[in-house]
Structure 1
Amino acid sequence: MPPFSSEQRSKESHDYIFEKSPILWFDGAIIVGAGPSGLATAACLKEQGVPSIILEKADCIASLWQHRTYDRLHLHLPKHFCELPLLPFPRSFPTYPNRRQFIQYLQDYADHFHIHPVYSENVLSASYDTQCKIWRVQSVNTSKGLSGQKREYVARWIIVASGENADVSIPNLPGIQAYRGSVIHSSKYKNGSEYARKKVLVVGSGNSGMEIALDLANHQAKPSLVVRSPVHVLPREMFGVPTFAIIMTLLKTLPLWLADRLLVLSAFLTYGDTAKYGIKRPSTGPLEIKQTTGRTPVLDVGTVSKIKSGQIRVMPAMECLISSGATFIDGHSEEYDAIILATGYRSNVPSWLKGEERNFSAEGISTCGWKGGRGLYVVGLSRRGIFGAGLDAKHIAEDIREAYLSEQQAYLKRFRVSSR
C-alpha cells in the first residue's frame, strides 16, 4: 500500500471497512469503545497524523450517557476537569453541565474532529499475533442490515477504551425470586415520577445511589438507602469553591495524610456526626482510599439534608429479600414497592482481550498504566475519571506517532529502492 496523507489514509481505511472481505487490514490504530476515552484518543491521534478507527458495540457514541443514566445527572466535577483534549466546553455551559449538555458536547467533539465510529460492531475477541506482530480483532455486527456478519480487523496497534462501566454489576440477592415487587438496576432508572408515594429501597451508597434517593424524595416517593459499609461524604463545594479543585490544590502543597485530615474536618463541620444518621466514615482518609482502591468519595448535592430531615431513611446491609420487601442484618424487615440496585458497573475487558492478563486486574482495570507493550494501549481504565483519560490519550497519541512515522519512513525507503 503506498503512503497517503492522514486524511487519505483515514478515508481509504473507512471505505475498505465495508468491503465484503472478512479480514480487514487497517493502517493505524484500532480503538475499542466510542465513549469519552475513545473519542479523546481518536482526536489526539488525528492531531498527530495517525489514522484510527473506533469499533463501538452500541448504536451511538457515549452509550452509557445516552441510554443508561438518569435524567437529573450532572457532572460531579467542574467542567474544566471533564473536558476532552483539544476542545473545551462552550463558555455558556454551567460549571456542572447536565446529562444532555455533556452528550451534546461529546457529539460536537466527534463532529469537530470528523470522528466516525463503526457502530453496532461488537468485539468478540482481540489477541496479539506474535508471528506477524499484529493485533487481530474479531467482531460481529449487530445492526439490522449487517446482523450476524463477522469480521476480523488487523492492525499494528490496539487501544482499549471500552471503559470501567461497560457492563452492569448486579449482586446475587438471596430471596429475589420470592420478592413480588419490581427490581431494576440503576441503568434503567430515569426519574422518580413513577414512584410517587411508593416505598423504594435503593441498594448502594455511591454517588448514583445517593442521587437516585434524592431524586425519589423530590418526586414524593418514600426512599430508603442501604449503606452497607463506611463511606466518605464530602460537599460538592466548600466555601463556594468546588471540592475537587480544593483537593487538587491540597495535593500539590500538602502530604496525602494531611490533605485527608483537612477534608474530613471540613466534612464534619458541614454535616456534623453523620454516624448518628447511619453513615459511618471510614478510618482511612478519602484520598488514600481513592489511591489504593479506586473508590471515590460521595460528592453530596443535597442527599444528606434529606437524610437529616427524615425524607430519606438509611438502612444497614440487606440480608435477603422476602415476598413483600427486605430483611436487614439487624434482624428487622421492611415492606417495599420497588428496589433499585445502584450497584455500579464493571469493565468487560477480561471477556474479550486475550493473553493480556498481566496488564489487567481480574476486574479488568489496567495495571500497566496507559501502555502495555506490543502495540497495546489503555485509556479510561485506571480509575482516574475523564480528566485522567484525557491525559492518557495525549500520551498514547504521542507514543504511537513516533512508531507510525518510523514505519512510514521505512516503507518509503523500501518503496524508493524497489522503484529504481
Structure 2
Amino acid sequence: MSDNNNTFHDCGDSVCIIGAGPGGLCMARALKRQGLSYEQFERHSDVGGVWDLDNPGTPMYESAHFISSRDLSGFLDFPMPKHFPDYPSNRQILEYVRAFAQAFDLYGPIRFNTGVEQVFKREDGRWLVTLAGGEQRCYRAVVCATGCNWDPNMPAIEGQFTGEIRHSVTFRKADEFKGKRVMIVGAGNSGADIACDAATHADKAFISLRRGYHFIPKHLFGLPADEVSEKGPQLPIWLVRPLFSLILRVLNGDVTRFGLPKPDHKLFESHPLMNTQLLHYLQHGDIQARPDVSHYDGNEVIFKDGRRETLDLVIYATGYKWSCKYAADYFEWKGGRPQLYLSIFSRQHHNLFGIGYLETNSSAYKLFDNEAHAIACYLRDQLQNPQRARDFEHLIAHDDPDLTGGINFIKSQRHEVYLEVHALKEQLRKLRQRFAWGDLDDGYYTALRQPSATPVAQPA
C-alpha cells in the first residue's frame, strides 16, 4: 500500500522509539523485558547519542567527563566497570553505552542512519511516523528519546563584534583557544569545563556570569560527592542545606574574592557547579571572572559594570532550546520546556512519551531506567489489563504531585521542569506498588543479558 509514492506500513501494536542514546536504549530494554514489540530509529550510524563525538550536532567536547560518579551512574544490572575512574571521560561513557546495547542485544531492532521527519497523530489515536526519505509507519505509541541538547540557545546581545562568536556546541578541543583572547559566556557545568580549557590554552581567558553559583567539589572526604549525599542518611532539606553549606564554606571559602558574583539563591535551589577546577584557575589568574555582558563595540566587549576587554573569540555556553522538531506541536511548552506528567507522560495526547525531558540533581541513567519501566508497564497494561491502564490514565490527566522535595527552585526557564530526584523516585515507587508493576531491584534485567556479551575493555 502506498500514499504519494511513500511506502506505508501498519506496525500493529508495536511501539516506536526515536533515538538510540542512553534514554532510548533504556526504553528498548524495558519494552523487551515486558515482551512488547518495538522499532527504533537513530539518525546516526551507531548508538551513543550525545556521547559520540562523531555524531553530527553533538555538544560533546574532548575534555568532557561525567559529573555524576561511576558507581551511582550505571544502568540497572549493568554497573560501570571498576577500572573506570570516579568520573569517567566521554570516551569511556560511549564505550560503556555501546557495551550495554550489546550486552542486552539491543542493536537488532535499531534502524541506523534513519532520521524521523514528522510524528502525526491520526484521528483513530494511532501515531503516523514519517522517516527521512518518505517512508511512513504507524504505531500505537511513540517514545521521544532524542534528548535536549541539540538546538543551541544563542542570546541576543546589542552591538557589533568584529571577532568570532560561536555557541559551545561547536567547541571540540582546547587547542582551538591557542593564541586567542577568549571569553566564555555562561557557567553551567559545560561552560565551566570549557572555561578551564580556555584558562590553560588561551592567551587571555574570561568567564562572564549572569548569576553566582554554589561550587561543590567532586570529592568530599575522599569520596565522590554524590556518594556522600546518596549513601548517607536521607535527611530533610532544612537540615541538609545548612550542613552542606558549612562544608562548602570550609572548603571553598568566599568565592566572591575571585570576582565571582554572590549566589542569589540558596544551595540546591539551582544546579550547583561540580567544578572546583575553575576556582583553581581563578585563584591563579589563569582566567578572570566578569559580570553579564552589556554590549559589543568592534573587537571589545563591554560588561554591565563598565569594564571593557579586547577579545578574539566568544563562546556562548548558554544552553539549548528543548525543541523536539518532529513532534513539537504535540507537546505543551512552558518557558521552553515540555509539560509532562512526571516529566514522562503527555497529558493531552494518549501514548506520547518522553525520556530525559527533565532537569534534576542526580545522575541520569538510573532515572532513565525508572522512566522506561513505568512507560513499558503502562503499555503492557493497555493490552493485558485495560482497567488498570485506564486507572493510570486518570492519574496522567489529573494527578499533580509535588516533586520539589521541599526545595524552592529559582524562577528561570531552566527550572520549569526541575525536580528533586528522590521525590521523583519515591513517586514512581508508589506507582509501581499501586499498579503492581513490580520492583526495580537488582537482577530485574539479568535474564535478558547475553552470556556472550563482551565486557567493557580494561585499559591497555
| TM-score where L is the length of structure 2 | 0.74
Q: What is the alpha-carbon distance in structure 2 between the residues aligned to residue 352 and residue 362 of structure 1?
A: 17
> 1:13-92 alignment to 2 at 5 Å?
22-26=7-11, 27-67=13-53, 68-92=59-83
Alignment partner of 1:264 is 2:250: no
Q: What is the alpha-carbon distance in structure 1 between the residues aligned to residue 366 and residue 205 of structure 2?
A: 33
Q: What is the alpha-carbon distance in structure 1 between the residues aligned to residue 102 and residue 114 of structure 2?
A: 20
* C-alpha contact 1:59 1:120 (8 A) present in aligned 2: yes
Between the two proteins, the alignment pairs up a number of residues equal to: 369
Q: What is the alpha-carbon distance in structure 2 between the residues aligned to residue 152 and residue 87 of structure 1?
A: 35
Counterpart residue type for residue 48 of structure 1: Q
Deviation, 1:65, is 1.9
Task: Give the gaps of 5 or more residues in structure 1.
Answer: 1-15, 142-148, 290-294, 408-420
* C-alpha contact 1:44 1:397 (8 A) present in aligned 2: yes
- Counterparts in 2 of 1:247 and 1:267: CA distance versus 1, 3 Å: same
Task: Give the gaps of 5 or more residues in structure 2.
Answer: 54-58, 387-460
* C-alpha contact 1:36 1:84 (8 A) present in aligned 2: no
What SS does the aligned partner of 1:322 have?
A: strand
- Counterparts in 2 of 1:281 and 1:38: CA distance versus 1, 3 Å: farther
1:171 to 138, 152, 155: 155
Partner of 1:155: 139
Alignment partner of 1:332 is 2:286: no
Counterpart residue type for residue 72 of structure 2: F
Alignment partner of 1:397 is 2:376: yes
Counterpart residue type for residue 334 of structure 2: S
1:361 to 312, 334, 340: 334
- Counterparts in 2 of 1:174 and 1:63: CA distance versus 1, 3 Å: farther
What SS does the aligned partner of 1:209 have?
A: helix
Q: What is the alpha-carbon distance in structure 2 between the residues aligned to residue 196 and residue 319 of structure 1?
A: 26
Partner of 1:248: 230
- Once the two structures are superposed, residues 97-131 of structure 1 have per-residue CA deviations (whole angstroms, 9 ceiling, x without a partner) of 111010111112222233343234333332333x4
* C-alpha contact 1:71 1:99 (8 A) present in aligned 2: yes
Deviation, 1:249, is 4.5
| TM-score where L is the length of structure 1 | 0.81
* C-alpha contact 2:6 2:134 (8 A) present in aligned 1: no
Deviation, 1:230, is 2.0
- Once the two structures are superposed, residues 178-206 of structure 1 have per-residue CA deviations (whole angstroms, 9 ceiling, x without a partner) of 32222221122122223224211011111
The structure that is helix-richer by fraction is 1
Q: RMSD of aligned C-alpha atoms? A: 2.3
The list of structure 1 runs, each at least 4 consecutive aligned residues, that deviate by more than 6 angstroms after superposition, is none
Partner of 1:7: none
Partner of 1:347: 322
Partner of 1:418: none
Q: What is the alpha-carbon distance in structure 1 between the residues aligned to residue 142 and residue 228 of structure 2?
A: 36
Partner of 2:125: 133
* C-alpha contact 2:164 2:312 (8 A) present in aligned 1: yes
> 1:183-202 alignment to 2 at 5 Å?
183-202=165-184
Moved more, 363-372 or 149-158: 363-372
